[in-house]
Amino acid sequence: MHFQDRWKRIIDELSPDRVTSVDELTERLGVSPATIRRDLNELDGLGYLLRVRGGAMRAESKAYKQAADERRSEGLQGQPGFLDTVISHAPAKRAIARTALEFLTPGLSMIIDGGTTTYTMASMMPNEPYHVLTTSIAILQGLIARPRVRVTLPGGEFFREQSIILNPYEDGILQHFTAARMFIGCQAITRNGLLQTDGLLVQSERRLIERANEIIVLADSSKINASGSLAVCPLSKIDVLITDDGIAPDAVEWLKAAGIDVRIAERTAEDRNTPVPLPR
């Protein structure tokens, strides 16, 4: 079992009301006690559980539990949260992020859109004099430890589920910001273009795209020909697509035929064995 699957299982098994022991987790996940203890310590350090003697508890507040209950009552429990998505396809995300970093030069002004692959990129960025505009609180948190990176946030409303700031109206800061490059993720990329499923997110991303000279899409191969209902932009707007080596050859062909520079990031042993730092 890869660590990203194991971490998701561990978090799912924990309760905020009782201690789940190392022995219980060892039996349920079929791995060694040493592995469970190491995972619990790492997840505790990242703020996703409370490590106690002999085991762990889920780190959830009453407000968090109430929000989760409301989502279940609205039939939204099947939608993955930010944490789940960060952990899913983690080796591919690291490989894509590492390739994306090749497009950075000191002094670069850029937009990094909210998303888990763009978050992975930000978590791996060097401490260089970049200027980053982002809508993502998780990306902001990841860049705080890099004092040479200047970060600008647009005004708007904070959406907790996506951990992003969105503004349905014209934003004064954004109107005066120009980026050499924009790094953006997606729900899907098909022959119909770059797709998302949230109307407000689409509106925000369209405005961001207009402020950048070059659009670079970061999307693991599971996003190619996936489902998405709302078009952010046509393929003609995309300059570069960075994906992983799981992409189908025919998809590479129609993407290149649309004029997109397709970069395929190969996953390494380090990508498979190194966890993506989780946002707090």
- What confidence score (pLDDT) does residue 90 get? 80
- What confidence score (pLDDT) does residue 1 get? 62
**DSSP character at residue 258:** T
- Contact between 195 and 230 under an 8 Å Cβ cutoff? The reply is yes
Instruction: Write out pLDDT tens, residues 186-224.
Output: 999 999 999 998 887 888 899 999 999 999 999 999 999
Q: Label residue 75 by pLDDT band (50, 70, 90).
A: very low
Q: Is the pLDDT of residue 79 over 80?
A: no
Range among 55-59, 156-160, 207-211 with highest mean pLDDT value: 207-211
**DSSP character at residue 102:** G
Pairing of strands 109-112, 131-134: parallel
- What confidence score (pLDDT) does residue 12 get? 86
Q: Read off the tokens for 15.
A: 């309760």
- Contact between 135 and 166 under an 8 Å Cβ cutoff? The reply is yes
pTM for the full predicted model? 0.71
Q: What is the Cα–Cα distance from 200 to 136, expressed in whole angstroms?
A: 14
Average pLDDT value over all residues in the chain = 84
- What confidence score (pLDDT) does residue 76 get? 38
Mean pLDDT for the stretch of residues 168-183: 80
- What confidence score (pLDDT) does residue 4 get? 66
Q: Is the pLDDT of residue 108 over 90?
A: yes
